[in-house]
Structure 1
Amino acid sequence: LDNSRLYWPSSPFGGNDHDSQEVGDRHNWQVWHGNVEPRKFGENLGQDYSVEGVSFKNYKKDYTRFSSEFGMHASANRFTLEDNLPEGTFYWGSDEMSYRNKDYHHQKGIMLMEGYTGIPTNIEEYMNFSMLTQAEGLKCGIEHYRRNKPFTSGSLIWQLNDCWPGTSWSMIDYYQLPKASYFYAKKFFHPLLLTIDHDAGSDLHIWVINDLLETYTDVLELTVESFSGEKLFTTTIPVEVKENASAKITRFTEEELLKGYPANEVVVRLTSMEGKAQQNVYYLRDHKDLALPQAHLQVAVDEDNQTVTVSTDNHARMVKLEIPSKKIHFSDNFFDLLPNETKTIEIGHLEGEKVDLGRLRVSAINSEQ
């Protein structure tokens, strides 16, 4: 009613459809729901209800101005589920687990996992696979949107937290326990982002996004290592990126990096040698296609300092720390650990209570559970 002030009548809004890529803001529900977009006014909303149609790789087709809503499901943490499910129902495929899924079509989450991690066969795999798919999917989307800066200048994930103890789009579950995507977000939303744009079999394009209001200078290190720790390729890349900008730095072919080594047996790391940006980790193939060896984790607990130190012999995928309690905080979690690498995690409670580390459980997707 106030003509003197700018007013945005809805979200999404703009262009030849209220979900236009060219004008206004857009909600991307091609990923997860399989919506076929963009469309024009008067056209029915089509759906591609398939593994390819709902895949998070479709984010890379989206060149919106502002992606104001997008996301995908992941399981709540183990304690949250166990504390809210009736006895004997905490297993993959139970009716109670199905009831805890806050979408009408549960097959969407299965198809998303089928495309990236493979379909889970038990509750442990379900928690891991759904969280990893959500985390890697949101990483794929956010990094794509940020590479497209300034044409794409905003993104809002649906959703941050939750009012329901179960499976939903949230990054933090009902008991305020973060999922894997929360810890991924601390890295992919860092104002200095080192990112690789890559599709299986294609070149790797190295990008730097600088959201600071000053020029970013650094030396990047690109390394390729086998899952057993053998260094296959390494190079350094001087970079200078102006303020508030996105820049493609260089590119490499898979053949240059692999030198005949199998693409599904390596991990690629992009590191700031001056420690200015977060390290970024990539795989050249989907998780379901990786030939991960079994990782044997070594765990040292320091009750006095409330820390845990983890190391591994082989590459450990998505190391997960769990304590059966509400409001537990970890300085990092759901991280990948390289062979003979050591990582120390600080553990706390949101209300300042001392945490009983005797109930700590540490695992990785490819470790003994």
Structure 2
Amino acid sequence: ASEVELILDLSDPALWWPHGVGEPALYDLDLALSRDGKPVHRIGERIGLRTVEWVQEKDHWGRSFFVRINGRDVFAKGANWIPADSFLPRVAPEIHRRQLALAAEAEMNMIRVWGGGVYEDPAFYREADRLGLMVWQDFPYACALYPDDGEFRANALREAESALARLCRHPSIVLWCGNNEIERDAEKLRRAFKTPFLGRSLWHEQLPDLARRIAPDAAYIPSSPIGGETPDDPREGDRHLWRIWSGWRDYPVYLEEEGRFFSEFGFQAPANPATWREALAPEDRHPQSLAFERHNKQIEGTERIFRFLAAHHRVPAEFERFVRLSQDVQGRALGLAVDHWRRRRPRTMGVLIWQLNDCWPVTSWSLFDYRMRPKAAWYHVRRGFRPRNIALLPSAKGLEVHLLNDEADPWRAEVRLRAFDTGGGVGEEMKLPAEVPPESVLRLAEIDPEAWLPDPERWFIVADITGAAESLTGAGAGDDSRLRREAGYGPRAFWFSVPFKHLRIGEAAVMVEAEERGGSPGVLLRTDRPAFGVWLEDEENPDLMFLDNALDLLAGEERWVATVAVPTGEPMAARRPRAHRI
């Protein structure tokens, strides 16, 4: 075989940038091989031009771990991807397009293709290229020790060579990872039983050598999590954090956790009620039915749902309310984790939630369910991933106000802090001017919540940005101006000193009606008193998606929310909208 090297000189090309950082510019590349003036082979592909570095350098916290694109340090915000169906032939290209569009609409810029899954269809990577979604691609090895003989290694390298040659042209792929959790588990086995690390040479020698030869610009790590003295080291590498949720610890414990990059963490919630109506018989729609429990593949997964629901809400027996409140817990758990680790920038430079999607109707860690209907967590994460955001986080001395700025420009804002009671009354108020440097975090203030809340069971604190009201237009999913726009009505953070089960919440009258604005369908939402965890749905159309949902609202507040079709993201009018609340 012969090799031909062709060098193209492009002056001042438009570069490919991650979503939210810049435009993911793509070029059409057409290559033809001719013999005696006649074409014998031709390939065409859309390509992007960019540089990528995975930075791991010593610093005063340990060793960094983050991605640098075109010389710019990027805070990774995203989720883990699993196969979109248990039966892969059912996954049509439009499913990949819609699910990745939901990731981009949630202000994500990275997707990790988990090693327990598959190399995805070409449509997946092309759509990631188009949307500017960086891809962390695991080789398909996970959670096991693999054979260490020559025959297995030869087969593994043939497969890897084919995958690298096929996928290396995609600008979205910014990292190749040898496996999922094998290094960590092998270290545990070595310490406990002196078990040898089978397959180590594959991930530490052969695969990185192959990647350097076929995709010389590719970044590579041997395993995830990877670290220093041990995998999951908070001082270097990435972490898979599971003592919260799987280890039965509640989500406030996220505030105790530090790390350079969190590539797995999560909290479960059931699929949406409409999805259960399609999957379960009426007599099985109960939180403790056998069929419902079997639609959760984690051992004692449903028991964990009850444990964490009981910590934050009064546990209902009615199935749909059980689902909604469980989703509320998941959403607030992930929102707290995102706020906490974003405020740790540059010490922490990435958060990838487990998981984005589902492969069947199930209770799981996903942000939207098998039918692509978003859970409450999708909205909480979307708000948490805003390029510019505000966070209220407890500290040893009180309550801290943080401004988070991922943009390349300074952020000048006026922050307003207010105390409210659950009947709608207003108490303490403070306004603070702020300027946040580019790509950084500002700890603006620390207050004593006891001085602000006369009765913690009736009062709460809200922080927002004055003059920051902007609604969604409801344009199609391909409209980048809408994807780049802040969800809802600008950054806002709520803080409650007691769980909702102890909060004396008034009987708010939440009204919702269909209303078109500027040619876009939507709904108008009103409440006379503070209302929390407000969930919008359409009684006649379970596949109507509200572009903002799972809302905490103040007394007298009015919101207009655009509506689209779940399967396509195209505008769709509500027929019989209604609202639920905590």
| Same fold by TM-score greater than 0.5 | yes
Q: 1:354 to 1:143 in 2, by over 3 A?
A: closer
Write the deviation string for residues 169-216 of structure 1: whole angstroms up to 9, x where unpaired: 0001111110111111121101112111116x9511111111111211
SS in 2 for 1:159: coil
Matches within 5 A, 1:192-211: 192-198=388-394, 203-211=398-406
In 2, Cα distance between the equivalents of 1:9 and 1:119?
Answer: 44
Structure 1 position 182 matched with structure 2 position 378: yes
Q: 1:93 to 1:356 in 2, by over 3 A?
A: farther
Q: Work out the percentage of aligned pairs sharing the same amino acid.
A: 28
Quote the RMSD (CA, aligned, Å).
2.1
Write the deviation string for residues 147-187 of structure 1: whole angstroms up to 9, x where unpaired: 11111111100011111112110001111110111111121
Query: Residue 560 of structure 2: which of 341, 344, 351 is its match?
Result: 344
Give the aligned partner of residue 32 of structure 1. Answer: 245
In 1, Cα distance between the equivalents of 2:570 and 2:381?
Answer: 26
Give the aligned partner of residue 270 of structure 1. Answer: 463
SS in 2 for 1:294: coil
In 2, Cα distance between the equivalents of 1:352 and 1:197?
Answer: 34
Q: Are the aligned partners of 1:75 and 1:126 in contact in 2 as well (CA < 8 Å)?
A: no
Structure 1 position 333 matched with structure 2 position 333: no
Structure 1 position 361 matched with structure 2 position 574: no
Q: Are the aligned partners of 2:522 and 2:563 in contact in 1 as well (CA < 8 Å)?
A: yes
Q: 1:306 to 1:274 in 2, by over 3 A?
A: closer
Query: Residue 172 of structure 1: which of 368, 374, 384 is its match?
Result: 368
Q: Are the aligned partners of 1:195 and 1:280 in contact in 2 as well (CA < 8 Å)?
A: yes
Question: Offset at 1:71?
Answer: 0.4
Structure 1 position 23 matched with structure 2 position 236: yes
Larger radius of gyration: 2
Query: Residue 275 of structure 2: which of 76, 80, 96 is its match?
Result: 80
Query: Residue 307 of structure 1: which of 502, 522, 540 is its match?
Result: 522
Structure 1 position 9 matched with structure 2 position 189: no
Q: 1:353 to 1:138 in 2, by over 3 A?
A: closer
SS in 1 for 2:382: helix
Q: 1:352 to 1:219 in 2, by over 3 A?
A: closer
Write the deviation string for residues 304-342 of structure 1: whole angstroms up to 9, x where unpaired: 953221212221111111235454221211111211111
In 1, Cα distance between the equivalents of 2:263 and 2:405?
Answer: 21
SS in 1 for 2:335: helix
Question: Offset at 1:356?
Answer: 6.5
Q: 1:352 to 1:250 in 2, by over 3 A?
A: closer
Q: Are the aligned partners of 1:218 and 1:274 in contact in 2 as well (CA < 8 Å)?
A: no
Question: Offset at 1:361?
Answer: 3.0
Point out the more displaced range, 83-92 or 267-276: 267-276
Structure 1 position 145 matched with structure 2 position 341: yes
In 1, Cα distance between the equivalents of 2:387 and 2:250?
Answer: 27
Structure 1 position 105 matched with structure 2 position 300: yes
Question: Offset at 1:20?
Answer: 1.2
Q: 1:135 to 1:352 in 2, by over 3 A?
A: closer
Structure 1 position 218 matched with structure 2 position 413: yes
In 2, Cα distance between the equivalents of 1:98 and 1:125?
Answer: 17
Q: 1:99 to 1:224 in 2, by over 3 A?
A: same
SS in 2 for 1:263: coil
Q: Are the aligned partners of 1:177 and 1:329 in contact in 2 as well (CA < 8 Å)?
A: yes
Q: 1:22 to 1:319 in 2, by over 3 A?
A: same
Point out the more displaced range, 232-241 or 353-362: 353-362
Q: Which amino acid aligns with 2:578?
A: R
Query: Residue 318 of structure 1: which of 511, 518, 533 is its match?
Result: 533
Write the deviation string for residues 216-235 of structure 1: whole angstroms up to 9, x where unpaired: 11111111111111110111
Query: Residue 58 of structure 1: which of 233, 243, 253 is its match?
Result: 253
Matches within 5 A, 1:107-126: 107-126=303-322
Give the aligned partner of residue 506 of structure 2. Answer: 293
In 2, Cα distance between the equivalents of 1:300 and 1:359?
Answer: 8
SS in 1 for 2:231: coil
Write the deviation string for residues 123-146 of structure 1: whole angstroms up to 9, x where unpaired: 133112210110000011111101
Q: 1:351 to 1:249 in 2, by over 3 A?
A: closer
Q: Which amino acid aligns with 1:57?
A: P
Matches within 5 A, 1:250-269: 250-258=445-453, 261-269=454-462
Give the aligned partner of residue 440 of structure 2. Answer: 245
In 1, Cα distance between the equivalents of 2:350 and 2:366?
Answer: 19
Question: Offset at 1:62?
Answer: 1.0
Q: 1:202 to 1:344 in 2, by over 3 A?
A: same
Count of matched residue pairs: 344
The answer to which structure, 1 or 2, has the higher relative contact order (CA under 8 A, 6+ apart) is 1
Q: 1:110 to 1:279 in 2, by over 3 A?
A: same
Q: 1:147 to 1:61 in 2, by over 3 A?
A: same
Query: Residue 71 of structure 1: which of 232, 251, 266 is its match?
Result: 266
In 2, Cα distance between the equivalents of 1:195 and 1:288?
Answer: 23
Q: What TM-score comes out, normalization by structure 1 length?
A: 0.87
SS in 1 for 2:457: helix
Q: What TM-score comes out, normalization by structure 2 length?
A: 0.56
In 2, Cα distance between the equivalents of 1:232 and 1:331?
Answer: 31
Question: Offset at 1:351?
Answer: 3.4
Structure 1 position 135 matched with structure 2 position 351: no
Q: Which amino acid aligns with 1:315?
A: P
Structure 1 position 280 matched with structure 2 position 476: no
Write the deviation string for residues 99-136 of structure 1: whole angstroms up to 9, x where unpaired: 22231113222222222224333213311221011000
